[in-house]
Amino acid sequence: MHLFEGYGIELEYMIVDRETLSVRPLADKLLEQVGGSYEMEVELGSVAWSNELALHVIELKTNGPTQSLSGLGATFREHVQRMDEILEPLGARLLPTAMHPWMDPETELRLWPHEHTDIYQTFHRIFNCRGHGWANLQSTHINLPFADDPEFARLHAAIRVVLPLLPGLSASSPFVEGTRSAFLDARLEAYRHNADSVFSVMGHVIPEPVFSTRDYQEGLLESIYRDLAPLDREGVLRHEWVNARGCIARFDRMALEIRLLDVQECPEADIAVAGAVIEVVRALVEEAWVGVREQQRWHERELAEILLEGIRDADQAVISNRRFLETFGYPERGRTRMRDLWQHLIESVAALNPSWNEWHSALDLFVREGCLATRIVDAAGLSPDRERLREIYGSLADCLTNGELFRAGS
């Protein structure tokens, strides 16, 4: 497929107790109900259900690329509701947002114990998965296709410069182990440290400026495999998916996978966020504001500095790098909030996709009240007790089931 001829979307959700909202390791039971066995993936028409490393996490994804995002939020919601119907007799339900607000990964993590368990056990042996960076992460992934080297180069350049902005739009993880984190996107803060013992696996989160498939495979990927080899002598992890950067190349399906988005309160919001990101990437690929050469000049460390601001302060993060703002055609000089830059971008690309009307409500709420993490903190306060957190996250679970947006005052 050529650029923007198809899209792959993946959404991850927690399985929790229906009353207490504490995590429940039931993903295998859920998949068994629809697949008849403990399969890692079950195909259900245009959507597939699949497992993740942690047994309390389930993934919904497009079953192959879809040509349009139109109606996809409603389709995913139908599958969410079907999952909830299966989980109800087990005393469980699904919970959105990117981190469970009080899970203790040291005591509550259960790894997937069935097919391909050697992969998860190898990750656990090398990196110790009993931490939030492995055990308590729910994200949205966007897969965008490319057909050849020139398309790879343009797409990779565009995505790299968009990555630092993603927590400003999608952060949804402000509470960890029952307390307000110092980071509105605590998932990304945990995620970026989950492979510290083998630096090349994650790097600086932002991918290096590599713009040919050969250089990517022979340089970036081979450096990861080489560093892992003494720890993984059987080569269990010698696959392109071991690369943990915020965007990775999936040559097995000729796509680039964006991995830095926190999952939102309902699929309709996730698709709105994904749609906005895709249209900004498309505008960059088409050189709407600056040329591809200018996009390719960015060093990963420069972009990582901006990303770290977004991880901490999300939509309120301040960008002072003038060259970065000019990359997106931002007209005002001086420092600006990520929310204001996103408002500019949303207004700039709003007319480019016929599905925009489906996304308007979610993106308008972002512009008016901020990202989901900001709204959660506004609703819960800075120091909520467990009962208040349970009330807030119970409301978020209802938003997921009903396809509703979360407002701080609701």
* In the chain, where the domains are located: 8-402
As given in the structure block, the two tokens for residue 276 are 């906005």
pLDDT confidence of residue 333? 74
- Taking only the tens place, the pLDDT of each residue in 223-280 is 999 999 999 999 999 999 999 999 999 999 999 999 999 999 999 999 999 999 999 9
pLDDT confidence of residue 409? 79
Are 70 and 354 in contact, with CB atoms under 8 Å apart? yes
pLDDT confidence of residue 299? 97
- pTM for the complete prediction? 0.97
Pick the closest to residue 224 from 191, 195, 251 (CA basis): 195
First to last CA, the chain: 43
As given in the structure block, the two tokens for residue 217 are 């495979």
The C-alpha atoms of residue 373 and residue 187 are separated, in whole angstroms, by 11
Beta-bridge partners for 336:
319
- Taking only the tens place, the pLDDT of each residue in 171-198 is 999 999 999 999 999 999 999 999 999 9
SS3 category, 56: coil
Are 208 and 301 in contact, with CB atoms under 8 Å apart? no
Q: Give helix 267-285 / helix 149-162 axis angle, nearest 10°.
A: 120
User: Residue 133: what are its φ and ψ, rounded to 5°?
Assistant: -65, -15
Pick the closest to residue 241 from 347, 150, 123 (CA basis): 123
How many Cα atoms sit within 13 Å of 3 on the Cβ side? 19
pLDDT confidence of residue 332? 80
- Taking only the tens place, the pLDDT of each residue in 339-382 is 999 999 999 987 677 778 889 999 999 999 999 999 999 999 88
The C-alpha atoms of residue 225 and residue 243 are separated, in whole angstroms, by 9
The C-alpha atoms of residue 25 and residue 27 are separated, in whole angstroms, by 6
Secondary element (H or E) of residue 92 = strand 92-95
Beta-bridge partners for 206:
204
Q: Which residues of 171-185 are buried (b: 16+ CB within 10 A; e: fewer)?
A: bbbbbbbeebbebbb
Residue keyed to tokens 């114990």: 113
Pick the closest to residue 276 from 193, 174, 361 (CA basis): 361
Beta-bridge partners for 13:
58
* Three-class DSSP labels, 60-73: EEECCCECCCCCHH
Phi-psi region of 404 (alpha: psi -120 to 50; beta: other; left: phi over 0): beta
Pick the closest to residue 296 from 159, 146, 168, 204 (CA basis): 159
* Helix extents (H) in 45-179: 72-87, 105-108, 117-127, 132-135, 149-162, 166-170
- Taking only the tens place, the pLDDT of each residue in 128-167 is 999 999 999 999 999 999 999 999 999 999 999 999 999 9
Least confident of 28-32, 36-40, 115-119, 180-184: 36-40
Which residue type is seen at 389?
A: L
pLDDT confidence of residue 350? 76
pLDDT confidence of residue 240? 97
Look at 358 and 106; give whichever has higher pLDDT. Answer: 106
Q: Is the dihedral of CA 315, 289, 285, 298 positive or negative?
A: negative
Secondary element (H or E) of residue 377 = helix 372-380
pLDDT confidence of residue 331? 86
Q: What residues have CB less than 8 Å from 197, skipping those under 6 apart?
A: 126, 127
pLDDT confidence of residue 410? 66
Q: What is the DSSP letter of 58?
A: E
- Taking only the tens place, the pLDDT of each residue in 47-81 is 999 999 999 999 999 999 999 999 999 999 999 99
Least confident of 25-39, 253-267, 276-290: 25-39
**Is 8-402 a domain of CATH 3.30.750.24?**
no
pLDDT confidence of residue 269? 98
Our measurement of the distance from residue 190's CA atom to the centroid of its chain's CA atoms, rounded to an integer in Å, reads 13
Average pLDDT over every residue of 211-219: 96
Q: What is the mean pLDDT of the chain?
A: 96
How many other CB atoms are found less than 10 A from the CB of residue 106?
Answer: 12
Q: What residues have CB less than 8 Å from 136, skipping those under 6 apart?
A: 54, 99, 100, 103, 105, 176, 187, 190
SS3 category, 41: strand
Our measurement of the distance from residue 309's CA atom to the centroid of its chain's CA atoms, rounded to an integer in Å, reads 17
Average pLDDT over every residue of 386-390: 97
Secondary element (H or E) of residue 10 = strand 8-17
